[in-house]
Amino acid sequence: MKLSKVEIGKDPANLHRTLTLEMVRVTERAAIAAAEWRGKGNEKAADEAAVAAMKAELDHLSISGRIVIGEGEQFECDDLYVGQAVGEGEGPEVDIAVDPLEGVTLAAKNQPDSLVVLAMAERGGLLNVARNVYMHKIAIGSEYAPETVHIEWSATENVTALAKAKGVPISEITAIVLDRPRHGGLLEELRTAGVSVKLLSDGDIAGVIHAVNTADTGVDIYLGSGGAPEGVLAAAALRCIGGHMQGKLILDTPDKRLRAKEMGITDANRIYDVTELAAGDVLFSATGVTDGSLVEGVKLRRGTVETSTVVMRSWSQTTRWIRARHAR
């Protein structure tokens, strides 16, 4: 096998490239299961269907897998809990982060950008964070220097620095932010500065990805706070496609600080970059449940089902879009 230019001189990949297609099968099955509940207003049923399908498909993989980011702790949910073993028990030892239904409310209401997301890394490669922990996040594209923005600067300072680096007035900067009451002050500051803001109703994994794909999306920067597990999954994608991101955990209760310590997090104030959130050889797959700006949703036909998936690999910096047709 000949190596492509991007692979020459690299260390050997620790995860075989065939795992990327296997991951696609996992996210496809979970998305199809969730799509059966799309628009029916039952978030719990949609999520449970995605979880069951994802767990069943993961157990067919030739891996010795361990869930490090999942649906919750061991006694909080039946499957895909933190620490659960998945796979056939033979093959590479991998850590797995899942969001079986990113944007569960979006799926229940049949609104855009609901996804099934899965990331896989060599053992120890993904930051282990609890499901109920939030994270401050900032992300920009790889065309800028990493120090262009900083998570501890004000929003005004960040967009001013980004506009200078881009060579445009602040009025030509577009930020993407989760539409949440906690971001009221952030939105006011951005709009006062003259920034255009795109609001996300849900699904900040896609939001981070959009922020580093400015040429395709028109979005320049992601700002705000969201789930820490989603931050790790977004970082896994950025390891594959490029882009800069910083994250800082919000450990605002004694219980969260204790659980973080149990998971190996000793510095509650640490600022993580992309390579610290998702390290080593990383694979990422996302299949659309509803139509969105990243991938199309599941199409339920009379005798077939069509899916759309984006799958990425950090070692080769490869991104593939896969459209598949499945017999019903």
Which residue positions form the known binding site for Mn(2+)?
47, 71, 99, 102, 230
8 A C-beta contact, residue 316 and residue 56: no
How many other C-beta atoms lie within 10 A of the C-beta of residue 21?
A: 12
Residue with tokens 């509803």, as numbered in its chain = 290
Q: Which amino acid is at 215?
A: A
Which residues, including other chains, have CB under 8 Å from residue 327's CB and lie 6 or more apart? 303, 304, 305
- How many angstroms separate the CA atoms of 222 and 276, rounded? 18
Sheet holding 196-200, edge to edge: 196-200, 174-178, 221-227, 134-140, 244-250, 272-273
- How many angstroms separate the CA atoms of 214 and 207, rounded? 11
8 A C-beta contact, residue 39 and residue 110: yes
Residue set of the binding site: 47, 71, 99, 102, 230
